[in-house]
Amino acid sequence: MSPVANGRLLFNEVPEGYPVPGKTTVYDESSKIDLEKVALQGGFLVKVLVLSIDPYLRGRMRHVEIATYIAPFAVGEPLANFGVGVVLRSESPAVKSGDHLYGIYPFVQYTVQNDAQAFRVIDNKLDLPLSAYIGVCGMPGETAYYAWKEYASPKRASCTSWVAPSDIADRLFTQGDVVFVSTAAGPVGATVVQLAKADGLKVIASAGSDDKVAFATSIGADVAFNYKTVSTRKILEKEGPINIYWDNVGGETLEAAIEYAGKGARFIECGMISAYNTKTPYGVANLINIIAQEIHIHGFVVSSLRSKYVEEFYSQFVPRVASGDIKYKEHLVRGLENAGEAILDVQSGKNFGKCVVVVAEE
Amino acid sequence: MSPVANGRLLFNEVPEGYPVPGKTTVYDESSKIDLEKVALQGGFLVKVLVLSIDPYLRGRMRHVEIATYIAPFAVGEPLANFGVGVVLRSESPAVKSGDHLYGIYPFVQYTVQNDAQAFRVIDNKLDLPLSAYIGVCGMPGETAYYAWKEYASPKRASCTSWVAPSDIADRLFTQGDVVFVSTAAGPVGATVVQLAKADGLKVIASAGSDDKVAFATSIGADVAFNYKTVSTRKILEKEGPINIYWDNVGGETLEAAIEYAGKGARFIECGMISAYNTKTPYGVANLINIIAQEIHIHGFVVSSLRSKYVEEFYSQFVPRVASGDIKYKEHLVRGLENAGEAILDVQSGKNFGKCVVVVAEE
């Protein structure tokens, strides 16, 4: 069999604002690979099947001088992110041909990898689509699950006396926490909504379209609204104060959450997409409320919490997805050549559900 | 004995910006009190000796519609804050004539109180000046001590091998945390500086005059600077990254601390004096760094931590003050009629050391 084209999505230049397909990234088919003969050198050849498009990727599209928690993409090289691939050939004792591997891949159709430890074999006895393993059962789901466990400290509603007459019972009823979840239709936010409902909390959910709002409601949000047409402040004033805020957006939404935070509120800082594509992020001016309301704000990166929760995640949470207890929604984009557009869609909120690039069928 | 004048500092109107003596507050001597005959109704008559002037008082000078953790001052009524007074007469079994009581007093020369539980008898076997009990041994000292204990999680420098040759020992030496303390010459900040040094940390201290900087150095700060003449960002860039930030100022200083925070840094949000006297607080635009650096921000109010630490504070910390182990500096203002000016001085940073109004000698 002669060499085949190995399509790649390359990082071409650092964007000023939003990443522009064909400019920030370019799809390239000039590279060839001989699938039968390519040297493995003790490693394994993987056919990439699905790749995840996540908001955080924008943070890697930066100049090398700026240091942060994750390395920038190198200009001229493929982007990289979580994906699932199938092993075509292997010289590694740890993986075998036909194995499905979850881990970080370059944005290519075929890749030779040598560190089996960096991947997780997906046995998929639960019969989930492979795409789920980069979404609700992958990094975004891990993000929601780990940080909710670590930082939310949810206080559920309780009733100290079930036998009292109803008028008394009302008074003995302790209200549970109120949680506000931004980007509630995305893979992280939607999972948080469901974890919060499972913990018995009242959930306020914001999303950027009426379809997304309907989805947030369908998965249990008590109050869901389209932040583009309804004032976040008015909703929080009416439905708050909030005890937990899951932040995926930052900026004015964070400012509103601070304004309507209850005493001792926990803020889980997962993302700030409002700041990713601008050189002049919104300045939050009411931080003094952090003191008055004794707010605790926790920034986190999912990789820091992984070792503590990863086995619990796969053994306890993933089966809940397989059973249908936890719902999820996917936005499938077919073809690696369309990944640049998918990246822009995720930054601008055009996707509806977890954005997955289907690079190839198996 | 005929009635005597009972001077009072009244809250006169809500200030727009800084509180103006004679306008925001007025000193009034029209009230009289008969010290021998005034009815106690089971309570006790106190001669107020010292009153504390603290930055947080500005937060009580607001319109009643604005809710926060502490009630606003009532227009036409005396201000109130922590102080020490001596009991002149008592009908309460809990206190006796001659007792010195620490607690919250109205800004008056004499007051009849009825809730002995709201006060703490200062036996003062340690022979500290009474003023110390409203400063380093009072609410400001409690503030520093409680929140440092609760939120700092200091990691001291350590050396895993003392017997290794010096060139190896250097490599085995684990660097301790770096803490940045704002308003480091004030009663809270100066106490934090000393707690941090006692925990073996490197301390960066900012203050608003060269005298204050010299004081911060004298109590152990490793790097002290005048933020009015030196760039906070440049200092933090050179001496950081910081692992702990004690915030008394907010605004641009907080933004700089976020910029130069190390991984997993703890921010202790004690005060934001930069925002107290303006209607347009500074907008902090780099909050995204909270995520990248996994910063934990804790807002707190001292009263919420009191029950957990108060006995430890009096039994363990106050003796360190009496022994001279913990240093402090006071700024004494004589006469209740000068309290309005003292309030303005504390808001604008003109005081040098804990501001105490000496209402009367005993």
Q: What is the pLDDT of residues B38-58, one digit of tens each?
A: 999 999 999 999 999 999 999
CATH code at B197?
3.40.50.720
Alpha helices in B152-231 (DSSP H): 166-172, 187-198, 210-218
d(CA B248, CA B245): 10
pLDDT for the residue numbered B341: 97
pLDDT for the residue numbered B329: 96
A131 and A148 inside one domain: no
Over the range A88-127, which residues count as b (16 or more CB within 10 Å of their CB) and which as e?
A: bbbebeebeeebbbbbebbbbbbbbbeebeebbebebeee
Over the range B299-325, which residues count as b (16 or more CB within 10 Å of their CB) and which as e?
A: bbbbeebeeebeeebbeebbeebeeee
B98 and B154 inside one domain: no
A60 and A118 inside one domain: yes
Q: Considering only CB atoms, which chain A residues are within 8 Å of B295?
A: 297, 299
Tokens of B200: 């073996």
d(CA B349, CA B183): 9
pLDDT for the residue numbered B69: 75
Chain B residue with minimal CA distance to A278?
B285
Instruction: Please check whether residue B68 touches A, CB under 8 A.
Output: yes
The pLDDT confidence band at residue B158, using thresholds 50, 70 and 90, is confident
Contact A281 B301 (CB under 8 A): no
Domain count, chain B: 2
Instruction: Please check whether residue B291 touches A, CB under 8 A.
Output: yes
Chain A residue with minimal CA distance to B275?
A288
CB A328 within 8 A of CB A135: yes
- Average pLDDT estimate for A208-219: 97
d(CA A85, CA A75): 24
A191 and A298 inside one domain: yes
pLDDT for the residue numbered A2: 87
A190 and A130 inside one domain: no
Q: Select from A68, A250, A299 the Cβ nearest to the Cβ of B295.
A: A299
In chain B, the N- to C-terminal Cα span, in Å, equals 18
B91 and B225 inside one domain: no
β-pairing, A44-52 with A354-358? antiparallel
pLDDT surpasses 90 at B157: no
Q: Select from B271, B289, B299 the Cβ nearest to the Cβ of A294.
A: B299
**Domain containing residue B242:** 141-303
pLDDT for the residue numbered A124: 81
Q: What is the pLDDT of residues A148-205, one digit of tens each?
A: 999 999 998 876 555 555 555 455 567 799 999 999 999 999 999 999 999 999 999 9
- Average pLDDT estimate for A124-148: 96
Q: Considering only CB atoms, which chain A residues are within 8 Å of B296?
A: 296-299
A262 and A286 inside one domain: yes
- Average pLDDT estimate for B180-201: 97
B286, part of any domain: yes
Q: Please give the ipTM for the structure prediction.
A: 0.94
Q: What is the pLDDT of residues B14-38, one digit of tens each?
A: 999 999 999 999 999 999 999 999 9
- Average pLDDT estimate for B62-87: 91
pLDDT surpasses 90 at B124: no
B150 and B255 inside one domain: yes
Contact B290 A270 (CB under 8 A): no
CB B202 within 8 A of CB B177: yes
pLDDT surpasses 90 at B196: yes
Look at A170-179, B60-69, B136-145, B319-328 and tell me which has the smallest mean pLDDT: A170-179
A112 and A176 inside one domain: no
B342, part of any domain: yes
Between the CA of residue A204 and those of A172, A244, A247, B259, B297, what are the distances in Å? 24, 10, 12, 31, 23
Q: B107 vs A279, which has greater pLDDT? A: B107
pLDDT for the residue numbered B19: 97
